[in-house]
Amino acid sequence: MHEVGIANSILEAARSEMARYPGARPLRITVRIGELAAVDPEALQFCFSALTQDTELAALELEIDECPRKHRCPTCGAEFVVVDYDVRCNRCGEERTQFISGDELELASLEMEEYEPSTA
């Protein structure tokens, strides 16, 4: 299950970014995962929760943005989502289209807020 390693890398990236903003509290981290990236979003969510449980990052929410496979037609320039492995252009019927996205695995954002402890 390589999702454990991916979840750990996400947390390392979050900690690295948080170090640049002392006193900030992380709220949400968003990752983009393409359908061809060979990552199970549910397994990643589970691993992330297991790794953050009972840590300073327990409240950090993982948001996963799943990206479909897209191709571009060199003939007419249309960009389209590939459905059922049919890579033909849905506008002109060209069969030799170019892969442009769907294998992403990237950190998209980290949302943080300033944290001020209560003085009461």
Residues of the chain with pLDDT > 90, as a percent, come to: 87
CATH of span 3-68+102-114: 3.30.2320.50
The pTM of the full predicted model, rounded to 2 decimals, is 0.84
Distance CA 102, CA 37 (A): 7
Single-letter code of the amino acid located at 110: L
CA 40 to each of CA 44, 45, 72, 88, 103: distance values in angstroms, whole numbers, following the listed order: 6, 9, 26, 27, 13
Confirm if 57 and 11 have CB atoms less than 8 A apart: yes
User: Does the pLDDT at position 117 exceed 80?
Assistant: no
pLDDT at 118: 61
Outline where DSSP puts E strands in the chain: 24-34, 61-67, 70-72, 79-81, 98-101, 105-114
Span 65-96, pLDDT tens digits: 999 999 999 999 999 999 999 999 999 999 99
Confidence of residue 120 (pLDDT cuts 50, 70, 90): low
